[in-house]
Amino acid sequence: MPNVQHILFPVDFSIQNCGIAPYVENMARLYGARVTILNVMEPPAGAYPGWAACGPPIDLQALAAVRTQRVDSFLKNEFQSVVTTRVMLDGDPATRIAEYAGKAKVDLIMIPTHGYGPFRRFLLGSVTAKVLHDVKCPVWTSAHVPEKLARPVGYRNVLCAVDRSAKRLPLLHWASEFAREHSAALKLVHAIPAATVRDLLEPEGGRFRSSLYDWAREDLAKLQKQAGTTWETVLEGGEVSHVISEAARTGQADLIVIGRGVMQRLLGRMRTNVYSIIREAPCPVISI
């Protein structure tokens, strides 16, 4: 269930950090949460043992002092209305972010995808990808679009992508509670990749595809009965990431909620598709 009391906002002083700052501040105000702004300084190449540094010795203490001052002043005006802690660490960014999130009992990490630009929009930043893989808490990622992000307007339409995993019931509970807390409409979406088989290639003349949809409807009805919910459902044949992104656009979703983990790619199971879902999403994604 959502219980967002501590938000971690990793920063590298980028334009993308500035772009999602209003979303972080908005989420913190909605939940009365505190925000930790974390920067991780990677040691310069010459500071690694066994590396022959060129030029004068590197003063790591001086670099750390300058970086700390920058962290303390970064986005100062944007977070005046929420309780904020600022932390500077050194080491591998993704590793330190995951370690800090675990030790500080972070409830939500909010991080940009670093996908702006005509080419980079097809890629996730390496730190973001590692964080998604390594941390256990929910992760909010920004819309992976080349244009500047719009100001947050709250969460009015939420889309929850469900598969056939054992963890889908907790995921539905989380999404349902989030929607209720924000007075948002919630839709469930389920992709059926196998339903794209052409009739000419199907020996039963379309009955196989129809049975897949019937099976999915019955399965989602059973899931909602377990969860005690009656949300509208969307069933579509096609690649998981494409089905989810199109459902988000059609429904004007403000947020997509997905599960993440290691799963097989079979009949709509989508946790192996987390990166592609985030890349194609027209709105922010929270992965649980």
pLDDT, one tens digit per residue, over 122-174 is: 446 788 888 998 999 999 999 877 667 778 888 999 999 998 887 899 999 99
pLDDT (0 to 100) of residue 121: 45
CA 121 to chain centre: 15
* Token digits of residue 1: 């269930």
CA 75 to chain centre: 22
- Would you say the C-alpha torsion 273, 109, 4, 186 has a positive or negative sign? negative
pLDDT level of residue 118 (50, 70, 90 thresholds): very low
What pairs with residue 189 in β-bridges? 161, 234
- 91-94: long-range contacts at Cβ-Cβ below 8 A with a sequence spacing of 24 or more? 91/40, 91/42, 91/43, 92/40, 92/42, 93/10, 93/12, 93/40, 93/42, 93/127, 94/126, 94/127, 94/130, 94/131, 94/134
Q: Identify residue 273 by its one-letter amino acid code.
A: N
Domains in the chain, ordered, with CATH?
1-148 (3.40.50.620), 153-288 (3.40.50.620)
